[in-house]
Chain A
Amino acid sequence: EVQLVESVGGLVQPGGSLRLSCAASGFTFSDYAMSWVRQAPGKGLEWVSGISGNGQNTYYADSVKGRFTISRDNSKNTLFLQMNSLRAEDTAVYYCARNSGLVAYWGQGTLVTVSS
Chain B
Amino acid sequence: EIVLTQSPGTLSLSPGERGTLSCRASQSVSSNYLAWYQQKPGQAPRLLIYGASRRATGIPDRFSGSGSGTDFTLTISRLEPEDFALYFCQQYVSPPNTFGQGTKLEIK
Contact = CB atoms under 8 A, between A and B. Distances in A.
Interface of A: 35, 37, 44-47, 50, 59-62, 95, 100-104, 106-109
A101 B96 CA distance: 9
A102 B92 contact: yes
A50 B96 CA distance: 9
Contacts of A59: 95-96
A44 B97 CA distance: 14
Contacts of B96: 47, 59-62
29 contacts: A35-B97, A37-B99, A45-B99, A46-B99, A47-B95, A47-B96, A47-B97, A47-B98, A47-B99, A50-B95, A50-B97, A59-B95, A62-B1, A95-B45, A100-B95, A100-B97, A101-B90, A101-B92, A101-B93, A102-B33, A102-B90, A102-B92, A103-B35, A103-B37, A103-B47, A104-B47, A106-B44, A106-B45, A108-B44
Given A44-B100, A44-B102, A45-B90, A102 B47 contact: yes
A80 B98 CA distance: 21
B88 A103 contact: no
Nearest to B92: A101
Given A101-B92, A102-B50, A102-B92, A44 B99 contact: yes
Contacts of A107: 44
B56 interface: yes
A103 B45 contact: yes
Given A100-B95, A102-B35, A102-B50, A44 B44 contact: no
A10 to B, nearest CB: 19
Contacts of B57: 104
